[in-house]
Structure 1
Amino acid sequence: MKTPIPFFYCQSFCRLILTTLLTALLLAPLAALRAEEIIVRDAAQLRSALRALRPGTTLKVSPGEYPGGHSVSGIEGITIEALDPKQPPVFKGGKSGFHFSRCAELTLRHLRISGQSENGLNLDDGGDLAHPVTGITLEHIEVSDIGPKGNHDGIKCSGLDKATIRECTITGWGGQGIDFVGCHRSLISGCHFIGKEGFSASAGIQLKGGTSDIIVEKCHFTNAGERPINLGGSTGLAYFRPQGAKHEAARLIVRNNTIEGSPCAAAFVGVDGAEFVGNTVRYPGKWIFRILQETQQPGFAPCRNVLIKDNRITFRRSQVQTDINIGAGTAPETFRFENNHWLAEDRPQASKPRLPVEEKGGIYGQASGSIK
């Protein structure tokens, strides 16, 4: 004979089932709210939707032209994307197209931003220097005609961690195409930077203010400013992330990019550890590389510990007189050059560059295929 289950056990079990069901019923609308999808079809609906954004919302924007000048703060997990990726919406004008402050896990896809007077996109940590914003993803964003003169960036990023910028195109800017200030553990991949006459571009990509552990890969730079890739820079101490960092940048990897035109291919500026590997460089206008130290504060590491390896470098001796521009306060003796192909197209016999250290395995005066 089976022992009967005590009545109070049955009551407890029923209460547990009831509580579970009630909790599920209560949470279901909340989950649905957090995962809300909104379709925007005109400027008024856009403004209304941005004011009502909740965590987890996906905003799908119909084709057409919309005003810029939008600001979103403190909302996590939102996505803003084109309703039709083949017809991205265009956000024109304003100081910035969008300014996102402390919006972790933000995703932007298939958007066009154009004609802003300050920055195309501004993404930051709201000035909370000790707590970076994580998980921002930008994909297939087109930014154009920013500035046109002065320190005005296509995409301005301050205090981001684990950011991904993929397959974006930036055309015409006043400052930097992409500017990283105190950003860490992030990726820039497959992007295009195209300089434009009348715009005072200083760099295609700049990585400074304590920035570290960044990969720049498979990008294409065409006349992308004075320094297409600026590994380091010059930053006021109040803006470093983390505070107290003693380098402008550290542990950077620049690989498999194509860099065409501009006064130099890349500048190493107060960086402590970097790799410039497998890139194709074509026709720099004055120098091939620059080694500089712009932040002169006590205790800062000199520009040092850079590997330049397996690059294809084509230039003209009629343009490049000084191969490596070396500034004061740097440590060029810590640089390493290995297995690079150097070709002075107009004077092949003068292809071997003057380097601060002896190169290992360099090839001089021979044409070679470009790295894709």
Structure 2
Amino acid sequence: MSPLLRSVRMRLSLLALLFLSSPLVAATIEVRDAAALRDVLPRLTEGDILRIAPGEYPGGSSVSNIPDLTVEALDPEKPPHFEGGTQAWHFSRCPGLKLRHLRCSGQSANGINLDDGGQRDNPVAGVLLEHLSVSDIGPKGNFDGIKCSGLKDLRISHCEISGWGGQAIDFVGCSDAVISDCKITGKEGFSQHTGPQFKGGCRNITIERCTLINAGERPIQAGGSTGADYFRPAGANYEAKDIMIRDNRIEGGTCACAFTGVRGAEFTGNTIVRPVKWIFRILQETTTKGFLVCGDVKISGNTITFRREQVGSEINIGAGADPGSFVFFGNKWLAEDRPQDSKPTLPSPEKDGVYGAKPE
């Protein structure tokens, strides 16, 4: 072989080696119908941006193990509609996922499901969900609008959820997460056990500036009841801790908020309007030995309007909780049908409470 030919072959080999060792270049992909979407899903790679044109699409899309993926509407003013199926979208182990401007309805299980692929001690980080519309899920049974298992550094904002079976938003073993500026509305014919729920080892969760209207039996549930095999991290001895619920508006529902096996929470600056049975519930549904009991909760600066003909007892207290560790400060209570009977019966004395005055 001549020296020139040998040099050319060597250079080609080096170029091939360089190409094979280089990361794939992320692409921006547009799809305009269901067939194109079905074709592209198996070919997505790290960092891709998938933009979906307006139109009707079937549920059942699934994506696994793709970091930094973006899935969004091609036209945010006309989001694509994913209708029917068991789930609209399922994302498993997709860190850095961004999901924007999509509409889902009519799923029989969950609207959108995101999880850690069963790796309970290896959470998926950096997921962002925004401007999603999820409706008519279930309609009855433990079926969720948005279900998140084993995620951290999660943000859900400006989403709308209406009509679901189990939870509007279900967090199982999630941490360092914020739900903000969302609207959650219950509908007739749906079982709607809870609105947003944080359980199974959830910690450092904030829900703020959201509006919840007739959002079920427990419009917000800090804690819950989780089977031992589903806690994240494995072996966690709390349903939830360090939960912040602030500046929300909660209308209707059987109660405004249920504290269920949570240890460490704040419920501050919220507006509560006419729950139909209780204002709060304090419960301990997980009773495993060594499990932290429900308590260490601060309820302050809230405006609470109710009807005394509906709310005979402001707080429902279950066995096994620690209601004496709840602190009440500076709340405004009004029984609008009987203002003289506005002062609540609480498990610990309230400081600087206001009773019977109409809210501004």
Smaller-chain TM-score bracket:
over 0.9
- AA matched with 1:114: S
- AA matched with 2:112: L
Q: Which digits, 9 at most, give the CA deviation of each residue in 1:185-215, with x for residues without a partner?
A: 0100001110000000001100000000000
Aligned to 1:353: 344
Q: What 5-or-longer segments of structure 2 have no aligned partner?
A: 1-10
Structure 1 residues 331-370: aligned runs within 5 Å: 331-369=322-360
The question of 1:109 aligning with 2:129 is answered no
- AA matched with 2:120: L
Structure 1 residues 247-326: aligned runs within 5 Å: 247-326=238-317
Which among 162, 169, 175 is matched to residue 160 of structure 2? 169
SS at match of 1:187: strand
SS at match of 2:41: helix
Q: Which digits, 9 at most, give the CA deviation of each residue in 1:203-243, with x for residues without a partner?
A: 11000000000000000000001000000000001100011
SS at match of 2:340: helix
The question of 1:329 aligning with 2:329 is answered no
The question of 1:138 aligning with 2:126 is answered no
- AA matched with 1:206: Q
Structure 1 residues 8-157: aligned runs within 5 Å: 33-157=24-148
Q: What 5-or-longer segments of structure 1 have no aligned partner?
A: 1-18
Moved over 2 A (4+): none
How far apart are the structure 1 equivalents of 2:344 and 2:26? Answer: 58
**Pairwise CA RMSD:** 1.6
Structure 1 residues 201-280: aligned runs within 5 Å: 201-280=192-271
1:34 is displaced (CA, Å) by 3.2
Aligned length: 347
1:184 is displaced (CA, Å) by 0.2
The alignment's TM-score, normalised by the length of structure 1, stands at: 0.91
How far apart are the structure 2 equivalents of 1:52 and 1:244? Answer: 37
How far apart are the structure 2 equivalents of 1:196 and 1:108? Answer: 25
Q: Which digits, 9 at most, give the CA deviation of each residue in 1:275-305, with x for residues without a partner?
A: 0000000000000000000001101111000
1:260 is displaced (CA, Å) by 0.2
SS at match of 2:54: coil
Instruction: Flag the structure with larger Rg.
Output: 1
Identity of aligned residues (%): 59
- AA matched with 1:347: R
Aligned to 1:180: 171
1:30 is displaced (CA, Å) by 5.7
1:35 is displaced (CA, Å) by 2.3
SS at match of 1:113: strand
How far apart are the structure 2 equivalents of 1:302 and 1:59? Answer: 45
How far apart are the structure 2 equivalents of 1:326 and 1:80? Answer: 44
Which among 168, 189, 209 is matched to residue 180 of structure 2? 189
- AA matched with 2:211: H
Q: Which digits, 9 at most, give the CA deviation of each residue in 1:102-133, with x for residues without a partner?
A: 01100000000111000000000000001000
